[in-house]
């Protein structure tokens, strides 16, 4: 995974500067889900955050009083995560800059949930270590909850090995939250259409790559080459898109039963993701995005979206 490691290390300085619509919406919704559906409802103790990056979710869980260990293969992202400890305020959670009003609104919702749930707590900063999802260096049945978000599994060469490791270190009855790139959403239309409109959707996909969605079995996961970042200087990475059926089946093989399925970027993905992953979105784009975002909020999380979120428990 050296290629992925180097690429993410190169993003360390700007990783938290979410001035784009795509990732600021993704993490705002994801963090609200964690606060509302997990922290508010579960008396968790030990959390393992796999693919923790700069510690977004690690600090959120820690703000609720949980003991958190975050692991990642990108050393420079881990250094950024460690540096946050001195400036992080568990009484006023702000996991990344509030460039858009919906980010501030979700942060306030999260703070309100934390106050209702925990009141006064002893705060323990998360601990961060180098670690590979495919070879987790902790004892069996050590953790009460596993968090694996930021599309971590979509970058792992052997996702089944990573799942087996999650199952090994999770206690029976323990819970998990996994977020991955989803195969079936509006994005697949953009992949197919982009070659026809000569790359105007900025996905830079060949006809052959676009046809992967139509020629592969409906329930099969697929690898694509995806351009992250700005159009004039994209960072191309191999990315696995999961079908919900396939991922749920793989999890169940290792005793991890999915209980709830949600999605993010269901209606907002009517705008191609490459337009939204722009550090300086236009006022017109922001206006259109907010309309779609408000509509998405009114519908259940489980409409097909670009990000697939699975919550469940390890069977006893």
The contacts of residue 101 (CB under 8 Å, 6+ apart) are: none
- The token duo for 145 is 């909850």
Residue 273, pLDDT above cutoff 80: yes
Closest CA to 227 of 213, 206, 207, 211: 206
Output the pTM of the full model. 0.93
pLDDT in the model for residue 60: 97
Residue 100, pLDDT above cutoff 50: yes
Hey, which residues does 257 pair with through a beta bridge? 313
CATH 3.20.20.60 fits 2-184+241-314, yes or no: no
Bigger pLDDT: 173 vs 1 = 173
Hey, which residues does 169 pair with through a beta bridge? none
CB atoms within 10 A of CB 252: 14
Q: Where are the domains of the chain?
A: 2-184+241-314
Residue 167, pLDDT above cutoff 70: yes
Residue 252, pLDDT above cutoff 90: yes
Bigger pLDDT: 119 vs 36 = 36
Hey, which residues does 139 pair with through a beta bridge? none
Bigger pLDDT: 237 vs 180 = 180
Residue 235, pLDDT above cutoff 90: no
Return mean pLDDT, the chain. 90
pLDDT in the model for residue 184: 86
Separation of alpha carbons 20 and 23, rounded Å: 6
What are the E-state strand segments in 51-121? 67-72
Confidence of residue 1 (pLDDT cuts 50, 70, 90): very low
Q: What is the mean pLDDT of residues 165-178?
A: 97
Q: Is 224 helix (H, G, I), strand (E, B) or coil?
A: strand
| DSSP code at position 147 | E
The contacts of residue 58 (CB under 8 Å, 6+ apart) are: 47, 49, 52, 68, 70, 81, 126, 128, 147
pLDDT in the model for residue 195: 73
H helices present in 156-307, as ranges: 159-169, 186-193, 207-215, 244-253, 273-276, 283-298
b/e map 5-44, b = 16+ CB within 10 Å: beebbebbeebbebebbbbbbbbbbbbbbbbebbbeeeeb
Residue 233, pLDDT above cutoff 90: no
Separation of alpha carbons 82 and 75, rounded Å: 11
Q: How many CA atoms lie within 13 A of 82 on its CB side?
A: 12
Bigger pLDDT: 127 vs 190 = 127
Bigger pLDDT: 42 vs 24 = 24
Residue 293, pLDDT above cutoff 60: yes
Q: What is the mean pLDDT of residues 132-143?
A: 97
pLDDT in the model for residue 127: 98
Cα dihedral 165, 171, 173, 176 sign: negative
pLDDT digits (tens, 9 = 90+) for 194-205: 777 777 766 666
Q: Could you tell me what percent of the chain has a pLDDT over 90?
A: 67
Confidence of residue 2 (pLDDT cuts 50, 70, 90): very low
pLDDT in the model for residue 187: 79
Separation of alpha carbons 95 and 16, rounded Å: 8
pLDDT digits (tens, 9 = 90+) for 52-64: 999 999 999 999 9
pLDDT in the model for residue 300: 65
pLDDT in the model for residue 221: 93
pLDDT digits (tens, 9 = 90+) for 37-85: 999 888 778 999 999 999 999 999 999 999 999 999 999 999 999 999 9
């Amino acid at each position: 995974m050296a290629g992925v490691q180097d690429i993410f290390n190169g993003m360390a300085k700007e990783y938290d500067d979410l001035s784009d619509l795509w990732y600021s919406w993704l993490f705002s919704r994801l963090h609200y889900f964690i606060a509302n559906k997990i922290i508010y409802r579960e008396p968790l103790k030990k959390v393992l955050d796999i693919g923790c990056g700069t510690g977004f979710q690690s600090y959120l869980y820690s703000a609720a009083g949980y003991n958190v260990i975050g692991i990642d293969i990108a050393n420079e992202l881990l250094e950024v995560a460690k540096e946050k400890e001195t400036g992080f305020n568990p009484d006023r959670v702000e996991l990344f800059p509030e460039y858009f009003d919906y980010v501030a609104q979700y942060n306030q919702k999260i703070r309100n949930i934390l106050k209702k749930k925990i009141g006064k707590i002893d705060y323990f900063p998360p601990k961060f270590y180098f670690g590979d999802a495919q070879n987790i260096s902790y004892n069996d049945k050590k953790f009460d909850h596993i968090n694996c978000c930021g599309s971590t599994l979509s970058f792992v060469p052997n996702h089944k090995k990573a799942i087996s490791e999650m199952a090994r270190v999770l206690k029976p009855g323990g819970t998990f939250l996994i977020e991955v790139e989803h195969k079936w959403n509006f994005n697949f239309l953009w992949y197919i259409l982009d070659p026809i409109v000569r790359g105007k959707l900025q996905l830079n996909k060949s006809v052959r790559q676009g046809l992967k969605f139509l020629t592969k079995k409906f329930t099969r996961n697929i690898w694509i080459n995806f351009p992250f970042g700005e159009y004039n200087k994209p960072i191309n990475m191999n990315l696995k898109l999961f079908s919900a059926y396939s991922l749920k089946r793989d999890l169940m093989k290792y005793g991890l039963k999915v209980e709830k399925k949600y999605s993010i970027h269901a209606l907002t993905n009517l705008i191609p993701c490459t337009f939204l992953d722009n550090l300086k979105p236009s006022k017109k784009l922001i206006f259109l995005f907010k309309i779609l975002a408000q509509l998405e909020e009114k519908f259940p999380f489980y409409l097909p979206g670009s990000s697939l979120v699975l919550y469940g428990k390890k069977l006893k």
